[in-house]
Amino acid sequence: MLAPSFLFELLKEHGTTFFAGVPDSLLKDFCAYLTDHTTPVEHIIPANEGSAVALAAGHHLATGGIPLVYMQNSGLGNALNPLLSLADPEVYAIPMLLLIGWRGEPGVKDEPQHVKQGKVTPALLEAAGIPYAVLSGEEAAARDQVRLAYEGMKAVQGPYALLVRKDTFSAHTLRSAPANTCLLSREEALKAVAALAEPRDIVVATTGMISRELHEDRTASGLGHARDFLTVGSMGHASQIALAIALHTPGRRIFCFDGDGAALMHLGGFATIGAQRPSNLVHIVFNNGAHDSVGGQPTAGFTVALTGIALSCGYVSACMVDSVEALASAVVQARSGGPCLIEVRVRRGARKDLGRPTSSPVENKAALMRELL
């Protein structure tokens, strides 16, 4: 295993002083070390991976330095446009080192949403013309790989990727997490909303802990899962799935269970919802100010006014709550017409024994479509 401090100091030796990216579970220890040992100007966690590439490009333009961009391989889709149309040697020729968590690596057991992405990750990099290596967990080999990466970036003036396997980094616990004084847990809040759902209501849940907690709640209550769509991948897109379902099933109430990181990743979705104005859509953002399922790195969730953004985009109503009582009241009021946004401030963390969906994504889709069609 590599100590996060080893890679950090090695990157500094090569002149890298700027870091940007979206946290990933395979990189969480390195990301935590970055947060603890850099300033807010040196390390930025943007809303999505494409923005991280743009930030890196701006850093290079202003300083001539080679920045580091980190992401999960699922974020390559967000990053490919600026990688190919901005950083590529045939366009602006901007060198940057990509540190990519390789979820779904062939031969390594992983969740279904990562399997396809893991299979095609090397091919995506090859198709994009981005040279890469699989980062070794041995210091001597990793040192040589990093040296070759910088030599390559300087020679061609373009990106170079290091793929990171599971357990490449040793542990580092985040020490400088921002304060969160919320008393309500996300699971408590989610259960309160689920309990108020009527028999024909549909729930579209975002990726990560929220889908897992909804699945467990439905199992415990014996209600089944036919009225839920668990968006186990495609971070940031649950609200648009919910929007389209709402538009095509006007006789049903559609709830979107969203997270702050997911909502911020594709914030333009708010504008599309506001423009369409579906009266049957209730958009609930469980906001804990953190990327909770990938190490607890901070989001901008507590520094932006999500309710103000929703209202300015055309939502009929928006409110922020931090108790079960206020949440229940907001859900009842939302039934008078939407689209409505309810931001629920919750504390970080989840149960250690939280399970995962027991049905496959295809089975989940089929059950929901039988309910809707």
- Same domain assignment for residues 227 and 314: yes
Q: 213 and 337 in one domain? A: yes
Same domain, residue pair 114 and 211: no
pLDDT of residue 207: 87
Give the pLDDT confidence score for residue 222 in this predicted structure.
77
Q: How far is the CA of 132 from the CAs of 148, 166, 349, in angstroms?
A: 10, 17, 34
- Residues 129 and 211 both lie in one domain: no
Per-residue pLDDT at 353:
80
Element (H, E) at 203: strand 202-205
- Asked if residue 240 and residue 158 are part of one domain, the reply reads no
Those residues with Cβ within 8 angstroms of residue 132's Cβ, 6 or more apart along the chain or in another chain? 98, 122, 125, 160, 161, 162, 163
Going residue by residue through the chain (373 aa), what tens digit of pLDDT does each one get?
999 999 999 999 999 999 999 999 999 999 999 999 999 999 999 999 999 999 999 999 999 999 999 999 999 999 999 999 999 999 999 999 999 999 999 999 888 889 999 999 999 999 999 999 999 999 999 999 999 999 999 999 999 999 999 999 999 988 877 777 888 889 999 999 988 888 899 999 998 888 888 888 888 887 778 889 999 888 999 999 999 999 999 999 999 999 999 999 999 999 999 999 999 999 999 999 888 777 778 888 999 999 999 999 999 999 999 999 999 999 999 988 989 999 999 988 888 887 788 888 999 999 999 999 9
Rounded to a whole number, what is the largest CA-CA distance in the chain? 64
Show the 3-state SS of 274-321: HHHCCCCEEEEEEECCEEHHHCCEECCCCCCCHHHHHHHHCCCEEEEE
Q: Which two tokens stand for residue 320?
A: 């922020």
10 Å CB burial of residue 104 (0-12, 13-18, 19+) is buried
Instruction: Identify whether 240 is part of a domain.
Output: yes
Q: What is the pLDDT of residue 208?
A: 84
One domain, residues 100 and 207: no
Considering the domain architecture, whether residues 119 and 190 belong to the same structural domain is answered as no
Pairing of strands 281-287, 317-321: unpaired
Question: Is 220 among the domain residues?
Answer: yes
- Residue 170 domain-assigned (yes or no): no
Cβ contact 330:319 at 8 Å: yes
pLDDT at residue 233, rounded to an integer = 86
288 within a domain of the structure (yes/no): yes
- Side chain identity at residue 342, one-letter code: I
Residues 339 and 222 in one domain: yes
Alpha carbons 358 and 151: distance in angstroms, whole number = 47
pLDDT of residue 77: 92
Considering the domain architecture, whether residues 146 and 209 belong to the same structural domain is answered as: no
Q: Which residue range is the domain that position 327 belongs to?
A: 186-372
In angstroms, the CA 253 to CA 310 distance is: 19
Q: Are residues 327 and 283 in the same domain?
A: yes
Look at residue 144 in the predicted model and tell me its pLDDT.
Answer: 98
Query: Does 215 map to a domain?
Result: yes
* pLDDT at residue number 118: 94
Residue 172 falls within a domain, yes or no? no
* Cα within 13 Å of Cα(261), Cβ side: 28
**Claim to verify: residue 252 and residue 160 sit in the same structural domain:** no
Q: Length of the chain in residues, anyone?
A: 373
Lookup: tokens for 353: 């024994």
Burial call 308-331: b when 16+ CB within 10 Å, e when fewer: ebbbebebbbbbbbbbbeebeebb
Burial of 103 (0-12, 13-18, 19+ CB in 10 A): buried
Q: Is residue 364 part of a domain?
A: yes
- The number of domains in the chain is 2
Cα gap 125→102, rounded to integer Å? 12
The CATH number given to whatever domain includes residue 78 is: 3.40.50.970
Tell me, what's the pLDDT at 205? 92
Contact 320, 345 (CB under 8 A): yes
Whether residue 112 is found in the same domain as residue 217: no
Which uninterrupted H or E stretch holds 257? strand 254-259
Answer yes or no: is 175 within a domain: no
